[in-house]
Copies of this chain bind each other. A is one copy, B any other.
Amino acid sequence: MRHTELSEQNCPIARSSAIVGERWVWPILRSAFNGARRFDDYQRGTGVARNILTDRLAGLVENGILVKALPEGAVQGHREYRLTDKGRALFPVYLALMQWGNEWTGLPTPPVEVQHTPCGHRTRPTVVCSECGDPLVARETRPLFGG
Q: Would you call A96 an interface residue if the criterion is a C-beta within 8 Å of the partner chain's C-beta atoms?
A: yes
**A147 close to B109 (CB less than 8 A):** yes
Number of copies: 2
DSSP class of A's interface residues: helix, strand, loop or mixed? mixed
Taking A13-B26, A17-B97, A92-B100 as given, write out 11 further A-B residue pairs in contact, using a Cβ cutoff of 8 Å, ordered by the A residue number: A12-B102, A12-B105, A21-B23, A23-B23, A89-B104, A92-B96, A115-B144, A116-B131, A116-B140, A122-B131, A127-B127
Contact across chains for B143 and A119 when beta carbons are under 8 A apart: no
Does the CB pair A100–B16 fall under 8 Å? yes
Q: Does A22 lie at the interface of the complex (its beta carbon under 8 Å from any beta carbon of B)?
A: yes
Q: Is the CB of A100 within 8 A of B107?
A: no
List chain A positions with a Cβ less than 8 A from chain B: 1, 3, 6-7, 10-17, 19-27, 30, 33-34, 46-49, 86, 88-107, 109-119, 121-138, 140-147
